[in-house]
Amino acid sequence: MSVEPRFFNRELSWLEFNQRVLDEASDPTIPLLERLKFLAITASNLDEFTMVRVGSLQLLEAEGDMRPDPVGLTTSQQLKAIGERMQAFMTEQYRCLLSDLEPALTEAGMRRVSPNELNDRQTQHIQMIFEQEVFPILTPLAVLSPSTASATALAAASTESSPRKSKATKKKAAAKTPESFTTSSDAQDDPEAAIFPPLINQSISLCVRLAPTNGSSAPRFAIVPFGRNRQRFITLPADSGFSYILLEDVVSMFLTQFFPGETIEESVAFRITRNADLELQEDQASDLLSVMQEIVNARRQSDCVRLELADHASPCLREFLQSAVDIPDRWVFAAPGPIDLAAFFRLCDSQGFDALRYEPWPPKPSPQIAPSESLFEAISHRDVLLYHPYESFDSVVRFVDEAADDPDVLAIKQTLYRTSAKSPIVAALKRAAQKGKYVTAVVELKARFDEQRNIEWARDLERADVQVVYGVKGLKTHAKLCLIVRREAQGIQRYVHFGTGNYNEITSRIYSDVSLMTCNEDLGADATSFFNAVTGYSQPQRFRQIEMAPLGLREKLMEMIEAEIDHKRHKQKAMIIGKLNALVDEKMIEALYAASQAGVRIRLNIRGVCCLRPGVPGLSENITVTGVIDRFLEHARILYFYHGGDERVFISSADWMPRNLDRRVELLVPVEDKVCRRNLLSILKTTLSDNVKAKRLLPDGHYEPVRASTTGEPIRSQEVLYRRMSETIEDAARAALATFEPHRAANQDE
């Protein structure tokens, strides 16, 4: 008799999360362009999952690492299950696009036109666009395909400078020479030229099959790479609405201009996804910034982990591409429609289609901070808790802006994990340093896919005389913290911002996150200790209130769970509520199982991966897990423990994953202020009561919608929170109007 595993597989759980996002794209009650956006999100999510998670597992398989995961699946078994699920997922993506979204969008006035549907005026327009803006830029690359291909050697040759290569690839590279494909007629004499074109990761290209020549029966191939910055959607003249054609269709129409005198037998759009899980040997890195630049560059030539191509590709062309990038059938995805669905994000902002979008929910200014009031003055009176994007992130930007210009501010210390391209916070830090303030920035160069931007910010900040620290060796600094030291009449005062999200004013409009701004003495002292620990060689001291991973955060969480178990054993009320993005860590899950078995009621709101099996008799019957997918990305981490009636509430930068608890610098921050704590509890209660956008995780790993009872009221938590914030702002405005403050003469005694 088989025993059910205690956990869900992490990768398959993530794919179920992405399925919930795709369910939003398929929901006819959601506006059309919002559905298209959800579809694009699923594709973007899947790209990153493939580059990181699939790439990592493929490396392990190539190296012969078959250690089972907590569920008992070997690396090969996981890859098989993932590949099958991804193929089924792609089928559903294209059903959604081709059968649901595009027909509805066409009816609404937004139409994708294929080459055989163009009228004369549109054809002339496209020809002009091609000749003026496409043909002068794109460069075709001729590639020969001999009867015996040595694609693995080519992949090895193209990754010669990569900091990490699989053992299997190195062995194959040593056994073969790169002679299979050539990029010019005399490339046989030039080993450097015998490399399949190093196509950009995730960039669309066309593969062109040309007719054989000189009596040979061997097919000939060429590649037309588009590059990342080419305009994918080309607007067409139309009598009404918005019509567009895809760039790959335009290039296919005029391929003969690239290959004059040649017979073109077929052309197929394709895209490759490369492994992004490149290993960094920090102990051997004397210059971390330079090594990180090498990592970014190496991704462009790392092993291919996925090949996407149009489903009309002939077996001959498909075989050529597969051998060229050395990839098995399992990781070839034949698309019945346009590849790179993530690119459809761009269409979602098309002008003139407001009726196809959600009604605007602009962030509101916090009623806790008067526009004319200094932020330092506001925080000195009370702790300020903000919930973004319902409350504007502008207050956080203003926090750093005011500090940069305030003559009484002596120092600013800040962590930076992901920032925007034109970050006003980085600009404020530079300005503060140029004004003579002591400014320290902990810039995490190892933030995956933001390495290049952070490298540039680090160099820019250094030029402005900011003291820049590149994180902690061996760890990623993921904590969100800004400390401002100010000289005041009563002495030195520390102001602190703790957050659950990044210092990025762009993503703050779509990510739900918590900000806590305080001048609490203990939290200020802890912030100072934190920066001393991560910027110097000092041994981290014991904090007064906060906890930091990887030192004490896990232990604090375990202690809080054990306390709930102890209370329940003494016949007292016990409850745990957690709002997280991911729950993966085995030890934390086992602790929650133990609490459930002791009778502790546990309610979890997990947006993404959840490896805990809820509702299993004898194991987790007291645990419920729900997740909300809606117009804002749920990103805040909020924790609640009943603690015998002495309720404890925390915000955190950390999810419950091994990487967060053991391999990153993270923070767990208690919220002591009664008003702030009450607001957080209200957020938790509202999120957990959602019966419109929430789905419940079942013991078998699937999700079912949470629905209101026939007599219950529908509750869409994000809408409730936004309406509530709007009402609070209106109440504050009315209260201000009810208070009359006279203007006095300048010299009049008060």
Distance CA 750, CA 693 (A): 56
Going 619 to 624 to 629 to 634, the CA torsion angle's sign is negative
Active site residue 478: yes
Residue 567 in 3-state DSSP?
helix
CA atoms within 13 A on the CB side of 105: 26
The neighbour count for residue 475, using CB atoms within 10 Å, is: 19
Contact between 468 and 656 under an 8 Å Cβ cutoff? The reply is no
> What percent of the residues of the chain are helix, what percent strand, and what percent coil, each to the nearest 5?
40, 20, 40
Q: Bridge-partner residues for 638, per DSSP?
A: 579, 651
Residue 518 zone, left/alpha/beta (φ > 0; ψ -120 to 50; rest): beta
> Which is the catalytic residue, given 478, 497, 567, 635?
478
Residue 675 — φ and ψ, nearest 5°? -65, -45
Contact between 540 and 551 under an 8 Å Cβ cutoff? The reply is yes
Q: Are strands 491-499 and 511-518 parallel, antiparallel or unpaired?
A: antiparallel
Q: Provide the token pair at 595.
A: 């609490």
Distance CA 465, CA 412 (A): 13
Distance CA 222, CA 227 (A): 16
Residue listed under structure tokens 């890859």: 79
Contact between 35 and 25 under an 8 Å Cβ cutoff? The reply is yes
Distance CA 76, CA 63 (A): 12
Distance CA 495, CA 518 (A): 6
Distance CA 699, CA 614 (A): 5
Q: Provide the token pair at 509.
A: 């409009």
Distance CA 333, CA 89 (A): 11
Q: Bridge-partner residues for 487, per DSSP?
A: 492
Distance CA 150, CA 196 (A): 11
Distance CA 281, CA 265 (A): 47
Contact between 230 and 130 under an 8 Å Cβ cutoff? The reply is no
Secondary structure element (H or E) that encloses residue 102, with its range: helix 102-107
CA 50 to chain centre: 13
Q: Measuring CA to CA, which residue among 565, 473, 563, 518 is closest to residue 381? A: 518
Distance CA 399, CA 393 (A): 10
Q: Provide the token pair at 370.
A: 């008067």
Contact between 150 and 195 under an 8 Å Cβ cutoff? The reply is no
b/e per residue, 128-164, with b = 16+ CB within 10 A?
Answer: ebbeeebeeebebbbbbbeeebbbbbbbbbbbeebbb
Residues 6+ apart with CB under 8 A from 349: none
Residue 576 in 3-state DSSP?
strand
Residue 397 — φ and ψ, nearest 5°? -60, -40
Q: Provide the token pair at 486.
A: 């100010």
Residue 320 — φ and ψ, nearest 5°? -60, -50
How would DSSP label each residue in 103-134?
A: HHHHHTTEEE--GGG--HHHHHHHHHHIIIII
Residue type for position 117: E
- Report CA-CA distances (Å) from 661 to 129, 164, 588: 53, 25, 10
Q: How far apart are the first and last CA of the chain?
A: 87
**What residues are labeled active site?**
478
